[in-house]
Amino acid sequence: MKRDETIKVMGLDTGYLDRKHTTVITRDINASLFSGELTCLLGPNGAGKSTLLKTLTAFLPPLKGDILIEDRPLDSYSESDLAKVIGVVLTERLNINNMSVDELVGMGRSPYTGFWGHMSDYDRKVVAESISLVGIDGLRGRMVQTLSDGERQKVMIAKALAQETPVIFLDEPTAFLDYPSKVEIMLLLQKLSREKNKTVFLSTHDLELALQIADKVWLLDKPHGVTVGTPEELALNGAISTYFQRDGLAFDIENRLFKILGLK
């Protein structure tokens, strides 16, 4: 499948703009995302992963630089246009009750439905397909508040799929999950990027998992900015070791695993 450059970031500074002062979190990011690829954003706590994701999804304005989405500047998109290009899955735990999985995934169709939010046959078909693709057919009638964290995450991914966007951004989709569920979600996202040619971009703390599954990795660190490469490249050129190595922790390049050395 053809891999197109869907998102291009040039000279981007991210951070928060207050009335009086600006807080810059990360400086001068230059990188791109491609369709059909699963890209992981890695970095220590406080490196600015969430801030970067929020900036790329237009929740935060960029402090400097340009973001091109499908060759159009991000700020030229209206809210409703952007809703058809980027779908998001957030870390914030949903606080919704008495809404069924079907209804919640159906909300993903809102950018396409009319004034009253009435769903056409096509809308229903997309919702059903999204639910099947994520493998939660058995949960369709369940209320959202009765689901486990992993199930809920899959529902939100199905919502993003129902949105039919070429790009899906996920902020730590594997946090709060047990290991098998983490692997399941990552494999699911990999499958979506392959089968649906989606651009999938996610932040995560699960280094080893990311290095084994991701097509590309963005390493984010305050002093270095963003370093982009395939997991092999980054492992071999020592970038990963520099980013994450601490006293008592070593990166085994061959197996892409971290080793705890113990205290000296």
Partner 1 sequence: MSRSSTVILMGLLGISIAGFFILNLLLGSVHIPVDDIIGILLGRDDGNMIWRNIILKSRLPQSLTAMMAGAGLAVSGLLMQTVFRNPLAGPSVLGISSGASLGVACVVLLSGSIGGVALSKLGVIGEVTITLSAIVGSLLIMALIAFVAQKVRGNVTLLIMGVMIGYIANAIIGVLKFFSAEEDIRAYVIWGLGSFSRVSGGQTSVFIILMLLLLPVSFFLIKTLNLLLLGDSYAKNLGLNIKRARLWVIGCSGVLVAVVTAYCGPVVFLGLAVPHICRGLFHTSNHAVILPASLLGGASLALLCNLIARMPGFEGALPVNSVTALVGAPVVMWVLFNKRKNDV
Torsion sign across C-alpha atoms 188, 192, 195, 199: negative
CB of 58 vs partner 1, minimal distance in Å: 8
Closer to partner 1 by CB, 45 or 78: give it: 78
Contact of 6 with 35, CB cutoff 8 Å: yes
Binding site for partner 1 (CB under 8 A): 57, 59, 79-80, 82-84, 86-88, 90, 92, 94-99, 103, 107-108, 110-111, 113, 115-117, 145, 163
80 versus 237: smaller Cβ distance to partner 1 = 80
Q: How far is the CB of 222 from partner 1 (least distance, A)?
A: 25
Asked whether 225 and 26 are in contact (CB, 8 A), the reply is yes
| DSSP track, 50-64 | HHHHHHHTTSS--SE
- Closer to partner 1 at the Cβ: 113 or 212? 113
Cβ closest to partner 1, residue 96 vs residue 257: 96
Q: Which residues pair with 100 in a beta bridge?
A: 143
Q: What's the closest the beta carbon of residue 167 comes to partner 1, in angstroms? A: 11
Question: In angstroms, rounded to a whole number, what is the distance separating the alpha carbons of residues 240 and 212?
Answer: 13
Backbone φ, ψ for residue 104 (5° rounding): -65, -45
Cβ pair 134, 170 in contact under 8 A: no
The order of strands in the sheet holding 167-171 is 86-89, 167-171, 199-203, 38-42, 216-221, 225-229
Q: CA 62, CA 52: separation in Å to the nearest integer?
A: 9
Give the residue with the Cβ less far from partner 1, 103 or 233. 103
Q: How far is the CB of 241 from partner 1 (least distance, A)?
A: 35
Least distance from partner 1 to the Cβ atom of residue 154, Å = 16
Compute the residue count for the chain: 264
CA distance 164 to 126: 8
**Which residue lies nearer to partner 1 by CB, 110 or 241?**
110
CB of 173 to partner 1, least distance (A): 14
